[in-house]
Amino acid sequence: MWISVKIVLLLTISSCNGFGIPNVFAPFVESLIKNNADKKVERRSYLNEYDFIVVGSGPAGCVVANRLTENPNWNVLLIEAGTVETLIEQVPMFAPYEFLTRYNWGYVAERQPYSCFGSKDSRCGFPRGKALGGTSVIYGMLYTRGSKEDFDNWGKLGNYGWEYYETVLPAFKKSERAHLKFYHKSQFHNDTGYLSVVHNEYQTPIPKIFIDGNKAMGLDEIDYNADENIGVAYLQSNTLKGRRHSAYKSFIEPFLHRKNLHIMLNTRVSKVLIDSVTRIAYGVELIRKNRRHKIIARREVILSAGSFHSPQLLQLSGIGPREDLQRIGVPVLHDLPVGKEMYDHISFPGLLFRSNLTNPILPFLEIQNMVKVFGNFLQSKGFGTVPNGVESLAFIQTPTTNVPHPRLPNIELILLTVAPHYDNGYAVRESERMSDWLYDSVYKQLEGDTTYSFLIVISLLHPKSVGYLELKDRNIFNAPRFYSNFFKEPEDVESILEAIKYTIAMTKTKPFQDIGARLHDAPIPTCAKFGFGSDDYWRCAIRTWCVSLHHQVGTCKMGPSEDRTAIVNPELKVYGVKRLRVIDTSIIPVSTTSHTCAASYMIGEVGADMIKRDWERQSNPYIFHSN
């Protein structure tokens, strides 16, 4: 059995591993796996009406569908545009390659005058998961919740019911099944939920050095998912026995036996059906196998389609900025600034360090060792189990911090024990849209180097620059236009510049110098005129080689009724419409001190509880109440 699994994996991966090995069988094998996985999930027939329709199966959507079907009297339809993940997607180390597959929508931002000059066509990539499980099927598996102060700030903005200790922390804990070898019996963790949270079993030598180096700079070692915000730690990830533990694997697959949970794959919702007189959402229009259908929701429609597709669906349903809707010919049902705010974590991946250590990873990338690699993976061991190559994180405050609370960090340092040249520039270059001229001038010279290199990525957690999105037209199959506005505010550049100086100083501490750590100093050609290492060189480099960390939030912002920029109220109900909620990370009002996947699970838990409270307390479940 194991031999056959390895062969399937090899056939499939060899079609996209960058080594140029022709394989006519790989697409057939991949299609066979996909079809079998889909059949496990889908039904032969569907109902015309459901109690609840959940649009989108990212972490929040999977949680909502799971929690609502705990009530056996409620029928729930979960609709997903993508398909089911396969064993390939469960290899943590292959995360960068997943950005290059059918599981990624493959979106890109529009050209901007402030940033992304080193990206292909000067356009930063905006990857997004297209699978049952959403982006949890392709993302880096990093589990970071954010700070107490983040969520207390939501309350200060007028969002009642989102208090950290009363609501948010219990929701985080409810989801997780934590087995963290460094934090036993912590009041901030739970070991009985569905979502696995663990420390990596396999480790290279670098994370210990990274932690000791940050300690030498004055940081403490912390649990960043507890009540400490500034410090350094080993990574906590959503993996289980060395495999990716996605929203599908944790919240859907174990519950497919529930007869009241129906799932549609490869189906695109084109709009929410809303009565123009009563303003009641009563169903969805969808496109499945090239045919349009309408399905009725007896109680509520829940949009969990994410920060890009939830605002797109609202606008195509007549809820959005009046001028924008009129421009594309959509009748205006309710004028709201949908999509007009889009926060993201701007990141700089341009610090590559070399060392005197022998590279333990390169043998894994050689074709003749692939069988051994997959054998180790199937036994839950080896480098293939490291999530996206990430092994440790640090959270720091720089002098120009603009955070709303003194305990909040403004910078995250992400240790990646991989480098762009390891696979001759395939995974990182392609997945992050690095231009050929940038790779060839900075990294290509390292191909074949057998010493250990590593990246320290700098992520700005609370940027001042805010982007937005807008629709091109009325066609659901056409992606919105994304305007990132990265570094529109110069202060964001200065914050990352200070983090660069901190990082370089850290690598000069004894733990790093013991391995001969040194900054790779090949200059970016368009910035070389400033002199490598000068402040102006780094300012140029930051704007040239920057990436999104794929944490867009705020496009369906949550806020009180007096907030003119809010799209949903604190109970996640869309203003101006009844029986319609948005439950996903698009409702987050401002950027948090974290990656967004953990928050997505939490928002799903809180949103599901709100729905249950509203409907289970009604003596007549078909009496609908306004927002």
pLDDT digits (tens, 9 = 90+) for 283-323: 999 999 999 999 999 999 999 999 999 999 999 999 999 99
Give the Cα separation of 61 and 246 in Å (integer): 12
Three-state secondary structure along 501-525? HHHHHHCCCHHHHCCCCEECCCCCH
**Amino acid 91: pLDDT:** 86
Q: How many percent of the chain have pLDDT more than 70? A: 90
| Segment holding 281, helix H or strand E | strand 281-288
Q: Which two tokens stand for residue 493?
A: 């550049």
**Amino acid 1: pLDDT:** 32
Q: Would you say 582 is a known binding-site residue?
A: no
Which of 177, 195, 188 shows the shortest CA–CA distance to 60?
195
Model confidence at 88, in pLDDT bands (50, 70, 90)? confident
Find the mean pLDDT for residues 463-475: 98
Q: Are 548 and 482 in contact (CB under 8 A)?
A: no
Q: What one-character-per-residue DSSP string does 98-147 give? A: HTTSTTB--EEPPP-SSS-TTBGGG--EE--B-BTTGGGGTS--B-----
Q: Residue 12 above 50 pLDDT? A: no
The one-letter code for the residue type at 342 is: M
Q: Would you say 526 is a known binding-site residue?
A: no
- Residues with Cβ within 8 Å of 34's Cβ and at least 6 positions away in sequence, in order, are 83, 84, 86
What are the helix (H) ranges across 157-260?
169-175, 206-216, 247
User: Which tens digits make up the pLDDT trace of 98-151?
Assistant: 898 999 999 999 999 999 999 999 999 999 999 999 999 999 999 999 999 999
Give the Cα separation of 281 and 584 in Å (integer): 18
Which of 323, 495, 503, 528 shows the shortest CA–CA distance to 400?
495
How many residues make up the chain in this entry?
627
Give the Cα separation of 565 and 556 in Å (integer): 9
Q: Residue 16 above 50 pLDDT? A: no
Give the Cα separation of 265 and 130 in Å (integer): 10
Q: Are 433 and 125 in contact (CB under 8 A)?
A: yes
Which of 313, 312, 246 shows the shortest CA–CA distance to 597?
246
Our answer to whether residue 595 is catalytic in this structure is: yes
Give the Cα separation of 371 and 7 in Å (integer): 8
More confident residue, 460 or 382: 460
Q: Are strands 580-582 and 291-303 parallel, antiparallel or unpaired?
A: parallel
Q: Are strands 468-470 and 481-483 parallel, antiparallel or unpaired?
A: antiparallel
Which of 85, 75, 140, 9 shows the shortest CA–CA distance to 253?
85
What are the helix (H) ranges across 47-87?
59-68
Residue among 179, 334, 595, 625 flagged as catalytic: 595
Q: Please give the DSSP secondary-structure letter assigned to residue 176.
A: E
Cα dihedral 576/590/594/251 (nearest 10): 0
| Domain range list for the chain | 1-627
Q: Are 159 and 215 in contact (CB under 8 A)?
A: no
Find the mean pLDDT for residues 192-211: 95
**Amino acid 364: pLDDT:** 59
In a 3-state reduction of DSSP, which class is residue 255? helix
Contacts 24+ apart (CB under 8 A), 44-50: 46/77, 46/262, 46/264, 46/295, 47/75, 47/77, 47/262, 47/295, 48/295, 48/296, 49/295, 49/296, 49/297, 49/298, 50/75, 50/76, 50/77, 50/262, 50/295, 50/296, 50/297, 50/298
CATH classification (class only), 1-627: alpha beta
Find the mean pLDDT for residues 582-596: 97
User: Which tens digits make up the pLDDT trace of 374-429?
Assistant: 677 677 777 788 888 899 999 999 987 777 678 899 999 999 988 999 888 888 88
Q: Which two tokens stand for residue 492?
A: 């964001």
Q: Are 291 and 102 in contact (CB under 8 A)?
A: no
Q: Residue 626 above 60 pLDDT? A: no
The one-letter code for the residue type at 600 is: S
Q: Are 192 and 177 in contact (CB under 8 A)?
A: yes
Q: Which two tokens stand for residue 285?
A: 């229009």
Which of 314, 329, 391 shows the shortest CA–CA distance to 360?
391
Q: Residue 29 above 60 pLDDT? A: no
Give the Cα separation of 265 and 57 in Å (integer): 10
Q: How far from each other are the two terminal CA atoms of the chain, in whole angstroms?
A: 55
Average pLDDT, the chain: 91
User: Which tens digits make up the pLDDT trace of 341-353?
Assistant: 999 999 999 999 9
Question: Which residues are registered as beta bridge partners of 240?
Answer: 243
Q: Which two tokens stand for residue 455?
A: 């990246």
Which of 453, 456, 235, 243 shows the shortest CA–CA distance to 362?
453
User: Which tens digits make up the pLDDT trace of 158-178?
Assistant: 999 999 999 999 999 999 999
Give the Cα separation of 312 and 339 in Å (integer): 8
Q: Are 161 and 571 in contact (CB under 8 A)?
A: yes
597-616 and 59-68 helices, crossing angle to 10°? 30
Our answer to whether residue 184 is catalytic in this structure is: no
Which of 202, 249, 235, 264 shows the shortest CA–CA distance to 87?
249
Q: Residue 519 above 50 pLDDT? A: yes
Torsions phi, psi for 204 (to 5 deg): -80, 175
Q: Are 197 and 598 in contact (CB under 8 A)?
A: no
Give the Cα separation of 398 and 156 in Å (integer): 25
